[in-house]
C-alpha cells in the first residue's frame, strides 16, 4: 500500500497545508479564467481537455442546462432555492457559449479518473488532492459566472506568460501541501505502470497530446504553439515555487593557495566551506579542494581575490535550486 503522510487534524501544519491547497486552487482557476480560456488555449492537463470539451459542445445548450424558467412556478422556500440554482446554472452555461462549462467538464473527468487511479495504483491520492481539483473546478466556473469568458488582456502572448505564471504558482502551492491537481498526472501514472515507461516522459507525452487536441476544434497551429509556451512557463514557475528562486552559487575551488582563500572566506566574508581531498589526474599530486556557497555579490569578490593570488586556480561555479542549512534557509522552514 502506498504511503500517505497525514497531518494531525487542526494542527498548525494541517491549517497551513489546507490553506495552500485553497489558495493554490483559486490562483490556478484565476489563471485559466482571465488568461487561458478566453483565448482557447489548451495547456495540457485535464483542464485543457475541459476547454476542448467546452468548445466542442458550444451551442448545445443555448438557453442553459435547464432551458427557459418561469419564477412563478417556484414559489415555496425550497422551490425558490432550486430556481436560483437552476437559473445560476443556466447563466453559467450561457457564459460558456451554451457549452459544457470547463470546470464541470474537468470535474466529470477527474472524479472517475481518481477512482480508477485508486483501484489501479492504490490509495496514493489523499483528501487534499481531491479537494484541490474540486475547488479548482468550482472556482473556475464561479469566477467565470461573475467575470465571463473575457480576456483580461487582448494580447495572446502576454496572456500566455501571465496565465502560465498564475497556474504554475497555484500548482506549486498545491504541491507544497503534498497534494496534486490529479487529472493527467493520474493518467500518466496508469499508462507508465502498464507501458513500463518513465513517469516524467509519460506526463510530457500526455500533455503534448492534449495540447495537440485543440487542432480538432480549429486547424490553427498558433493555438498549440502558444499552448506549449504556457506549458513551459507553468513548469518553470512550479519549480521556482517549490524550490525558491535562489541567488546563491555553489563553488568548487582547486588552488595551491587554499589557506589564503580559507582566510579570506572566513575572515572577510564571514562564510564557511568544506575541504575535500582529491588527487590530480595529470601528475597524481594531492589537492585540497574547497566546496562552498556564496551569493552573487560575494562570488564577484571571491573571483577577483582568487585571480589576484592564484591566476592558475580552477574554479567551478554552479547554479543552485535551494540551500538549506546553517547560514541559509533553516531546515525547519522547509515544508515536510
| In the chain, where the domains are located | 12-58+96-243, 248-333
Q: What are the grid coordinates assigned to 40, written together?
A: 482557447
Tell me the three state secondary structure of residue 321.
coil
Write down the pLDDT at residue 5: 54
Tell me the three state secondary structure of residue 114.
helix
Write down the pLDDT at residue 218: 77
Write down the pLDDT at residue 3: 41
Write down the pLDDT at residue 330: 58
CB 29 within 8 A of CB 140: yes
* Other C-beta atoms lying within 10 Å of the C-beta of residue 123: 12
Compute CA distances 190 → 1, 185, 201, 250, whole Å.
Answer: 16, 9, 13, 38
Q: Whole-angstrom Cα distance, residue 36 to residue 104?
A: 17
Write down the pLDDT at residue 246: 62
Write down the pLDDT at residue 2: 42
Q: Whole-angstrom Cα distance, residue 203 to residue 48?
A: 14
Write down the pLDDT at residue 117: 80
CB 130 within 8 A of CB 197: no
Write down the pLDDT at residue 79: 87
Q: What are the grid coordinates assigned to 302, written together?
A: 571571491
Write down the pLDDT at residue 70: 82
Q: Whole-angstrom Cα distance, residue 102 to residue 202?
A: 24
Write down the pLDDT at residue 142: 95
* Tens digit of each residue's pLDDT, the chain (336 residues): 344 456 677 678 889 989 999 999 999 999 999 999 999 999 988 999 999 999 999 999 988 888 888 887 888 888 888 888 898 898 999 999 999 999 999 999 999 988 888 787 766 667 888 899 999 999 999 999 999 999 999 999 999 999 999 999 999 999 888 787 777 778 887 888 788 877 777 888 898 999 998 888 777 889 999 999 999 999 889 888 877 666 678 899 998 898 999 998 888 888 888 899 888 777 778 888 999 988 877 888 888 899 999 998 999 988 777 666 665 665 555 544
Q: Whole-angstrom Cα distance, residue 33 to residue 39?
A: 10
Q: Whole-angstrom Cα distance, residue 167 to residue 171?
A: 6
Compute CA distances 175 → 24, 119, 180, 255, whole Å.
Answer: 9, 22, 6, 42
Residue 11: is it exposed, middle or buried by C-beta count within 10 angstroms (0-12/13-18/19+)?
exposed
CATH 3.30.70.120 assigned to domain 248-333? The reply is yes
DSSP letter for 8, please: P
Q: Whole-angstrom Cα distance, residue 35 to residue 163?
A: 5
From the list 116, 168, 147, the residue with the least C-alpha distance to 34 is 147
CB 132 within 8 A of CB 24: yes
CB 229 within 8 A of CB 237: no
Tell me the three state secondary structure of residue 247.
coil
Strand partners, 324: 329
Amino acid at each position: 500500500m502506498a504511503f500517505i503522510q497525514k497531518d494531525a487534524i487542526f494542527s498548525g501544519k494541517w491549517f497551513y497545508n489546507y490553506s495552500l491547497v485553497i489558495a493554490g486552487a483559486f490562483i490556478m482557476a484565476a489563471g485559466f479564467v482571465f488568461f487561458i480560456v478566453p483565448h482557447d488555449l489548451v495547456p495540457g492537463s485535464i483542464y485543457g481537455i475541459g476547454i476542448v470539451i467546452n468548445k466542442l459542445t458550444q451551442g448545445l445548450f443555448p438557453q442553459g442546462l435547464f432551458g427557459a424558467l418561469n419564477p412563478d412556478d417556484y414559489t415555496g422556500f425550497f422551490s425558490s432555492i432550486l430556481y436560483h440554482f437552476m437559473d445560476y446554472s443556466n447563466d453559467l452555461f450561457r457564459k460558456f457559449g451554451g457549452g459544457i462549462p470547463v470546470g464541470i467538464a474537468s470535474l466529470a473527468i477527474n472524479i472517475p479518473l481518481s477512482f480508477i487511479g485508486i483501484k489501479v495504483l492504490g490509495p496514493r491520492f489523499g483528501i487534499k488532492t481531491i479537494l484541490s481539483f474540486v475547488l479548482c473546478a468550482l472556482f473556475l466556473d464561479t469566477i467565470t459566472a461573475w467575470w465571463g469568458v473575457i480576456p483580461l488582456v487582448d494580447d495572446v502572448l502576454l496572456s500566455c506568460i501571465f496565465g502560465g505564471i498564475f497556474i504554475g504558482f497555484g500548482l506549486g502551492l498545491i504541491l507544497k501541501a503534498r497534494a496534486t491537481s490529479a487529472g493527467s498526472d493520474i493518467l500518466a501514472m496508469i499508462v507508465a505502470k502498464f507501458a513500463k515507461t518513465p513517469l516524467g516522459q509519460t506526463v510530457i507525452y500526455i500533455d503534448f497530446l492534449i495540447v495537440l487536441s485543440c487542432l480538432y476544434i480549429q486547424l490553427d497551429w498558433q493555438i498549440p504553439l502558444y499552448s506549449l509556451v504556457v506549458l513551459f512557463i507553468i513548469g518553470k514557475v512550479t519549480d521556482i515555487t517549490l524550490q525558491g528562486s535562489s541567488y546563491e552559487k555553489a563553488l568548487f575551488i582547486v588552488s595551491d593557495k587554499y589557506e589564503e582563500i580559507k582566510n579570506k572566506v572566513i575572515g572577510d566574508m564571514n562564510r564557511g566551506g568544506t575541504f575535500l581531498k582529491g588527487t590530480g589526474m595529470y601528475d597524481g599530486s594531492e589537492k585540497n579542494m574547497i566546496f562552498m556557497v556564496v551569493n552573487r555579490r560575494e562570488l564577484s569578490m571571491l573571483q577577483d581575490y582568487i585571480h589576484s593570488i592564484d591566476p592558475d586556480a580552477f574554479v567551478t561555479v554552479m547554479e543552485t535550486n535551494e540551500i538549506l542549512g546553517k547560514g541559509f534557509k533553516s531546515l525547519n522552514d522547509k515544508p515536510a
